[in-house]
């Protein structure tokens, strides 16, 4: 029993933090918003050089063969920096291709993913849109319980602008065929369920970083802004709002780390653990965004102030990979109707 991260895992996070602090500022985000694809191939290349995209790629495909526990702090760090490049779909797609019974797609695509030469898009039934379909080299799509893999020339995309300009959503027109089919029946259901949980965990981790950052922004502002001749951060009304948000965010942390462990080890409680992480993270980030905006006052309602870069990320991530409502209902159905497999307190309940 040990809830701590290894030195290597923490160092990986620090490397990413240094990179994002230097190369991915709020000015970078605003520049990307004005670009055509809103995506940066330079940032993607640098991210791959750090090793993030090869992390989940098995060693036989030139990756590092690591797992979600190795990754989760990095995902959190991306949330801290409102980094929205298509990391989540590519990671989800990576494991999906690696887990297919037929290894030919993995052989073809995963070395490219690890090398930064391929981006993956993954559709899931809870959303009508596909994220980052416009920059994906391979799209993994679902229809009637089947999984299909298509190249960009086989799909027609319609852009659906999101409230978060960093979130690139598309409707995808496509036709399934025997050539595009990669899994069906039980195999497709299993892979699809795992992909969904993996995406939800990644979004939860990013929400955690995003929520914490918004609280810190509020506290920085409250420590500089004066009214009635004093810093507004001296008022208990402000202190207590920030503290309430911090309590919520702090308790998301172990839920997210545990969900990462459950995924990495395919625990029997994987899905409910992931849903708890995603729901708690969505709620905490929502509280953090409300509190931070209130503390910023009128400044927080402007386009110029950077806070909304993080608020928009939080709103989008909250809806991605299952909304609060969806995960809340899934927890209720497991906890109340099915009964959690390891409750009450089976030997492995924590994992």
Establish if 7 lies at the interface with other proteins (CB under 8 A): no
Residue 230 engages other proteins in binding (rule: CB under 8 A):
yes
Residue with tokens 């899905």: 271
Shortest Å distance, C-beta 27 to other proteins: 25
**Beta carbon nearer to other proteins, 103 or 216:** 216
Tokens of 11: 């160092």
Residue 338 binds to other proteins (criterion: CB under 8 A): no
User: Whole-number minimum distance, CB 344 to other proteins, in Å?
Assistant: 6
If DSSP codes are grouped into helix, strand and coil, which group holds residue 260?
helix
CA distance 290 to 285: 9
CA dist 153 and 228 (Å) reads 62
Residues 6+ away with beta carbon under 8 Å from 268: 341, 342, 348
By rule CB under 8 A, what count of residues binds other proteins?
Answer: 52
Cβ-based nearer residue to other proteins, 109 or 321: 321
Q: How far is the CB of 150 from other proteins (least distance, A)?
A: 37
User: Does the footprint of other proteins cover residue 336 (CB under 8 A)?
Assistant: yes
Q: How far apart are CA 340 and CA 232, in angstroms?
A: 46
What binding mask, one character per residue, do residues 40-79 give for other proteins by CB under 8 A, x or -?
Answer: -----------------------------x----------
Q: Is 345 in the site for other proteins (CB under 8 A)?
A: yes
Neighbours of 72 (CB within 10 A): 27
Q: Which helix H or strand E contains 326, and what residues bound it? A: helix 324-332
Nearest CA among 245, 220, 167, 203 for reference residue 79:
203
Nearer to other proteins, 87 or 255 (CB): 255
Is residue 302 a contact partner of residue 284, using CB atoms and an 8 Å limit? no
Q: Is 162 helix (H, G, I), strand (E, B) or coil?
A: coil
x-or-dash string of contact with other proteins, 187-216, rule CB under 8 A: ----------------------------xx
CB 245 within 8 A of CB 215: yes
DSSP codes, 34-87: TSSSS--HHHHHHHHHHTTTTSSS-GGGTS----HHHHHHHHHHHHHTT--SSH
Subset of 242-301 contacting other proteins (CB under 8 A): 242-244, 246-247, 250-255, 257-258, 261-262, 265, 276, 279-280
Exactly one of 52, 222, 311, 319 binds other proteins (CB under 8 A); that residue is 222
Q: Which is nearer to other proteins, 193 or 247 (CB)?
A: 247
| Contact status: 314 vs other proteins (CB under 8 A) | no
Q: Should residue 332 be labelled a site residue for other proteins when binding is judged by CB under 8 A?
A: yes
Residue 3 in contact with other proteins, rule: CB under 8 A: yes
- Residue 250 C-beta: closest distance to other proteins, Å: 5
The three-class DSSP label of residue 219 is helix
* Residues in the chain, overall count: 351
Instruction: Name the pairing type of β-strands 168-173 and 181-183.
Output: unpaired
**Binding mask 131-170 vs other proteins (x if CB under 8 A, - otherwise)?**
----------------------------------------
Q: Which is nearer to other proteins, 26 or 244 (CB)?
A: 244
**182 Ramachandran zone, left/alpha/beta (phi>0; psi -120 to 50):** alpha
Which spans of this chain sit near other proteins (rule: CB under 8 A)? 1-6, 69, 215-216, 219, 222-223, 230-231, 233-234, 236, 238-240, 242-244, 246-247, 250-255, 257-258, 261-262, 265, 276, 279-280, 328-329, 331-332, 335-336, 343-345, 347-348, 350-351
């Amino acid at each position: 029993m040990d809830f701590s991260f290894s030195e290597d895992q923490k160092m990986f996070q620090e490397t990413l933090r240094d990179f994002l602090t230097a190369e991915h500022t709020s000015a970078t985000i605003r520049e990307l918003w004005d670009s055509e694809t809103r995506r940066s191939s330079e940032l993607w290349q640098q991210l791959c050089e750090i090793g993030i995209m090869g992390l989940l790629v098995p060693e036989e495909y030139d990756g590092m063969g690591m797992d979600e526990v190795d990754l989760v702090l990095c995902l959190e760090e991306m949330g801290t920096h409102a980094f929205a490049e298509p990391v989540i779909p590519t990671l989800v797609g990576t494991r999906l291709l690696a887990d297919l019974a037929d290894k030919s797609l993995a052989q073809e695509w995963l070395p490219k993913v690890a090398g930064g030469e391929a981006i993956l898009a993954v559709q899931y039934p809870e959303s009508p849109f596909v994220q980052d379909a416009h920059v994906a080299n391979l799209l993994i799509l679902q229809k009637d319980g089947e999984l299909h893999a298509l190249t960009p020339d086989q799909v027609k995309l319609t852009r659906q602008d999101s409230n978060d300009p960093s979130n690139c959503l598309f409707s995808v027109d496509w036709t399934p065929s025997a050539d595009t089919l990669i899994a069906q029946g039980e195999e497709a259901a299993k892979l699809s369920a795992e992909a969904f949980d993996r995406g939800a965990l990644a979004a939860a981790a990013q929400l955690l970083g995003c929520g914490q950052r918004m609280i810190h922004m509020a506290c920085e502002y409250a420590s500089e802004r004066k009214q009635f001749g004093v810093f507004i951060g001296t008022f208990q009304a402000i202190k207590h709002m920030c503290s309430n948000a911090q309590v919520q965010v702090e308790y998301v942390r172990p839920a997210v780390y545990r969900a990462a462990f459950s995924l990495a080890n395919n625990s029997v409680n994987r899905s409910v653990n992931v849903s708890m992480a995603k729901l708690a993270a969505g709620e905490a980030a929502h509280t953090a965004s409300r509190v931070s905006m209130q503390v910023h006052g009128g400044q927080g309602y402007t386009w110029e102030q950077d806070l909304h870069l993080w608020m928009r990320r939080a709103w989008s991530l909250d809806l991605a990979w299952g909304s609060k409502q969806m995960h809340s209902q899934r927890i209720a159905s497991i906890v109340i109707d099915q009964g959690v497999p390891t409750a009450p307190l089976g030997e492995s309940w924590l994992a």
